[in-house]
């Protein structure tokens, strides 16, 4: 009987020891921004892609990309709709947050979206950064990508003071920043007015089944455009040498 009791106690004791070590939670890259970054439906061979939708192709194995960007959102509405709060619920030490806004912050006629680039736009960016750091995570800013807008054969920015405001916040708070405004402007210049159509949603009538009457969208990216922007971001953040978890070259 004493032997049986001894064996029982041994089994009971060992049962409290996990047989398999718990896995460490994987690093997560959260992406917050607007439609130029957001995931788009792949139903019916939709040609539209946000650059965050394809970014996982550039990150290290085992790293999870959570693309929380959403079409039509500004810094203001991303907070007001509780989207940022949802990120904060699961954000943990060692994670990353890539922040790109500006396109919809411009819309003065829509007060639920609009922010002044010199005041509340900066304040919202600062809030994202401070909240991220308070969680022990790592913020990275990105200026907004160019719209496909040419004048006299050269790309012209339509984003006003928002890219510069982003760069100023990055400098003030010592946050890594990727100047996608500059990089995508250079990409458009290199591609040319005609060649750059392939980076956006440009279809002539009958060219694509989803757009029988054609489509000429100079704001939203094709899959090729999304991959090009993702590569520009990845190459640039690699040069910053901040430990961002990218695939090895």
Q: Return the pLDDT at 20.
A: 45
130-143 pLDDT per residue, tens:
999 999 999 999 99
What are the extents of the domains in the chain? 25-240
The CATH architecture annotation of domain 25-240 reads 3-Layer(aba) Sandwich (3.40)
Catalytic residue among 24, 61, 213, 249: 213
**Binning pLDDT at 50, 70 and 90, where does residue 209 land?**
confident
Q: Return the pLDDT at 8.
A: 36
Q: Quick one: which of 27, 172, 177, 174 has its CA closest to 101? A: 177
Asked if the model's pLDDT at residue 5 lies above 50, the reply is: no
- For the chain, the C-alpha Rg in angstroms (whole number) is 23
178-208 pLDDT per residue, tens:
999 999 999 999 999 999 999 999 988 988 8
Q: Considering only residues 59 and 21, tell me which one the structure prediction assigns the higher pLDDT.
A: 59
**Binning pLDDT at 50, 70 and 90, where does residue 212 land?**
confident
Give the rounded percent of residues in the chain with a pLDDT score beyond 70: 90
Stretch 123-131: mean pLDDT, rounded? 98
Q: Return the pLDDT at 25.
A: 64
Active site residue 157: no
**Binning pLDDT at 50, 70 and 90, where does residue 211 land?**
confident
Least confident of 14-28, 42-56, 115-129: 14-28
What does pLDDT average to over the chain?
Answer: 90
Catalytic residue among 35, 70, 222, 230: 35
Q: How many CB atoms are closer than 10 A to CB 116?
A: 14
Active site residue 204: no
**Contact predicate 54/39, CB 8 Å:** no
Active site residue 213: yes
Partners of residue 98 on adjacent β-strands: 31, 140
Q: Return the pLDDT at 206.
A: 84
Q: Return the pLDDT at 23.
A: 58
- φ and ψ of 186, to 5 deg: -65, -35
**Contact predicate 78/93, CB 8 Å:** no
Asked if the model's pLDDT at residue 100 lies above 90, the reply is: yes
Asked if the model's pLDDT at residue 176 lies above 70, the reply is: yes
**Binning pLDDT at 50, 70 and 90, where does residue 9 land?**
very low
Catalytic residue among 48, 49, 220, 230: 220
């Amino acid at each position: 009987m004493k032997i049986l009791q001894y064996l029982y106690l041994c089994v009971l004791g060992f049962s409290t020891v996990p047989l398999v070590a718990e896995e460490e939670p994987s690093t997560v890259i959260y992406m917050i921004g607007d439609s130029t970054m957001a995931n788009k439906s792949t139903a019916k061979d939709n040609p539209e892609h946000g650059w965050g939708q394809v970014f996982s192709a550039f990150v290290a194995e085992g790293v999870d990309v959570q693309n929380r960007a959403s079409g039509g959102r500004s810094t203001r509405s991303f907070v007001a709709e509780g989207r940022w709060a949802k990120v904060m619920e699961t954000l943990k030490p060692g994670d990353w947050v890539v922040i790109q806004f500006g396109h919809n912050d411009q819309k003065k006629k829509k007060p639920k979206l609009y922010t002044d680039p010199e005041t509340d736009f900066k304040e919202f960016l600062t809030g994202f950064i401070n909240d991220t750091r308070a969680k022990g995570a790592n913020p990275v800013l990105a200026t907004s990508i160019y719209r496909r807008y040419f004048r006299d054969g050269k790309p012209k920015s339509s984003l006003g003071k928002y890219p510069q405001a982003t760069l100023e916040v990055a400098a003030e708070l010592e946050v890594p920043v990727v100047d996608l405004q500059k990089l995508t402007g250079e990409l458009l210049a290199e591609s040319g007015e005609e060649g750059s159509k392939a980076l956006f949603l440009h279809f002539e009538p009958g060219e694509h089944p989803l757009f029988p009457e054609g489509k000429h969208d100079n704001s939203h990216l094709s899959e090729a455009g999304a991959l090009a922007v993702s590569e520009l971001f990845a190459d640039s953040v690699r040069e910053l040498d901040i430990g961002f978890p990218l695939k090895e070259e």
